[in-house]
């Protein structure tokens, strides 16, 4: 069995656009006609440039190779161009291709991917979700209205979720970590209070930030929200300074989670060694794929750290997350995004039921892609999957953050 052909599909979720502006799906086909699907998570170059990177990585290191040889293909890609160090774009391309190889191997053997990477450890996977606007909410007002967040949290708990995430703490800016404005701290506290009052002890609060803050700013904000006992404080400072993140972790008394912007165990290892976080959040379409993240999970286990695979992408990466989560002993929970488009793209093969996911028993990733649907929603924009804000934090009028990439409005 040899890898023979590659197809790259760039599809854009329709409004409201949760999961990013576009998803990069890869389809691999072997010489004996088996197909496998993978997903390359948000890259730092545009989707057409990323297509070229994926095609280059495939032609150099995957084409003609046996899909079983995951370790060999990883080492070749990781070493590409005399590097042997993490490269976010190259490893993003590799990750999607690697996921597709596991899909092929599972189909060839008639077994789900989790059975090939250690077997079934967890028969039910605890899921969490961001708080998204309800149909009755104004989509712009939602992000600055604690009462709406509380209503959304109530709805999630009614659906069975036992953990909800929200991020009211202000802008992500390309200027690096900043000191939060007093309005942002106040908004964050009011969100925590409203959501905690709504869910009580029925659900954990997951406080999302995405590297917005300076070390001192992250400590101030963390101490302000600590009375509401969040389960985690997510990426409180930019992820490129592990030692400073460790200072935040030591000062705030809330478990720190990080990892969505890291790639390979080379970047996760210092996080564990320096005590910067006890919850790791690899995005499998970026961090090195299923096998590399299995190694990251094993490494985390030795530090008594837990795994919470990240998802702000499409359902193929979600499927990979599910198989990893099913096989590891130190799973905390998995992120989920359930929109009609997510479900339709994989023909309803995977779902959250009562706040939990049951790992599939079907071969490979356990999904079937609706290619016609994917091709019917091409991406025609010029923005990246996610983008940083150029303008600095507004200390005069306050800030409004709209949940990642600005949602598409129709």
Q: According to the model, what pLDDT value does residue 407 have?
A: 47
* Token couple for 133: 């606007």
* Token couple for 217: 């700013």
Q: CB of 102 within 8 A of CB of 294?
A: no
Q: According to the model, what pLDDT value does residue 82 have?
A: 95
Q: Counting runs of H as helices and runs of E as strands, what totals does the chain give?
A: 13, 12
Query: 0.85 exceeded by the pTM?
Result: yes
CA distance 54 to 24: 10
CA distance 217 to 197: 26
CA distance 104 to 217: 47
CA distance 151 to 199: 10
Q: What letter does residue 39 receive in the DSSP assignment?
A: E
Q: According to the model, what pLDDT value does residue 404 have?
A: 54
Provide CB contacts within 8 A for 164, sequence distance 6+. 128, 129, 130, 131, 152, 153, 156, 157, 195, 199, 203, 204, 205, 206
Structural Rg of the chain based on CA atoms:
20
Q: Where are the alpha helices (DSSP H) in 227-288?
A: 242-252, 264-273
Q: According to the model, what pLDDT value does residue 230 have?
A: 98
How distant, in Å, are the alpha carbons of 6, 137, 243 from that of 172?
Answer: 35, 24, 21
The one-digit pLDDT tens for each residue of the chain (410 residues) are 999 999 999 999 998 889 999 999 999 999 999 999 999 997 799 999 999 999 999 999 999 999 999 999 999 999 999 999 999 999 999 999 999 999 999 999 999 999 999 999 999 999 999 999 999 999 989 999 999 999 999 999 999 999 999 999 988 889 889 999 999 999 999 999 999 999 999 999 999 999 999 999 999 999 999 999 999 999 999 999 999 999 999 999 999 999 999 999 999 999 999 999 999 999 999 999 999 999 999 999 999 999 999 999 999 999 999 999 999 999 999 999 999 999 999 999 999 999 999 999 999 999 999 999 999 999 999 999 988 888 999 999 888 776 554 544 54
DSSP assignment of 61-106:
IITTS-TT-HHHHHHHHHTTTT--S--HHHHHHHHHHHHHHHHHHH
CA distance 96 to 41: 8
List the domains of the chain with CATH numbers.
116-366 (3.20.20.120)
């Amino acid at each position: 069995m040899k890898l023979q052909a590659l197809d790259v599909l760039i599809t854009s979720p329709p409004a409201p656009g949760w999961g990013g502006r576009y998803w990069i799906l890869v389809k691999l086909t072997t010489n004996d006609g088996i197909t496998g699907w993978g997903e390359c998570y948000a890259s730092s170059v545009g989707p057409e440039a990323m297509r070229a990177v994926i095609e280059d990585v495939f032609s150099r290191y995957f084409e003609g190779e046996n899909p079983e040889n995951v370790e060999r293909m990883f080492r070749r890609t990781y070493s590409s161009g005399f590097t042997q160090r993490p490269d976010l774009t190259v490893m993003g391309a590799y990750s999607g291709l690697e996921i597709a190889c596991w899909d092929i191997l599972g189909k060839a053997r008639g077994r789900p991917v989790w059975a090939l990477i250690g077997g079934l450890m967890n028969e039910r996977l605890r899921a969490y979700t961001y708080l998204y606007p309800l149909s009755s909410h104004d989509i712009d007002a939602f992000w600055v209205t604690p009462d709406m967040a509380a209503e959304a949290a109530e709805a999630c708990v009614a659906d069975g979720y036992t953990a909800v995430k929200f991020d009211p703490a202000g802008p992500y800016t390309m200027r690096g970590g900043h000191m939060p404005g007093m309005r942002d701290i106040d908004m964050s506290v009011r969100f925590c209070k409203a959501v905690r009052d709504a869910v009580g002890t029925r659900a954990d609060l997951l406080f999302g930030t995405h590297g917005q803050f300076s070390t001192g700013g992250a400590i101030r904000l963390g101490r302000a929200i600590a009375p509401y006992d969040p389960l985690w404080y997510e990426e409180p400072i930019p992820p490129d300074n592990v030692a400073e993140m460790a200072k935040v972790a030591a000062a705030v008394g809330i478990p720190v989670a990080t990892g969505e912007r890291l790639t390979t165990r080379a970047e996760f290892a210092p996080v564990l060694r320096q005590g910067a976080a006890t919850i790791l959040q690899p995005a499998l379409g970026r961090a090195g794929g299923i096998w590399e993240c299995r190694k990251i999970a094993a490494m985390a286990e030795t530090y008594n750290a837990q795994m919470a695979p990240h998802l702000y992408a499409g359902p193929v990466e979600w499927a990979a997350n599910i198989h990893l989560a099913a096989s590891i002993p130190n799973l905390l929970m998995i992120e989920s995004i359930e929109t009609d488009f997510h479900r339709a793209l994989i023909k309803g093969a995977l779902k959250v039921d009562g706040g939990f996911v049951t790992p599939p028993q079907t071969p490979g990733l356990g999904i079937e892609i609706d290619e016609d649907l994917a091709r019917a929603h091409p991406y025609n924009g010029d923005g990246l999957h996610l983008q940083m804000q150029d303008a600095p934090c507004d200390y005069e009028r306050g800030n409004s953050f709209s949940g990642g990439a600005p949602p598409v409005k129709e």
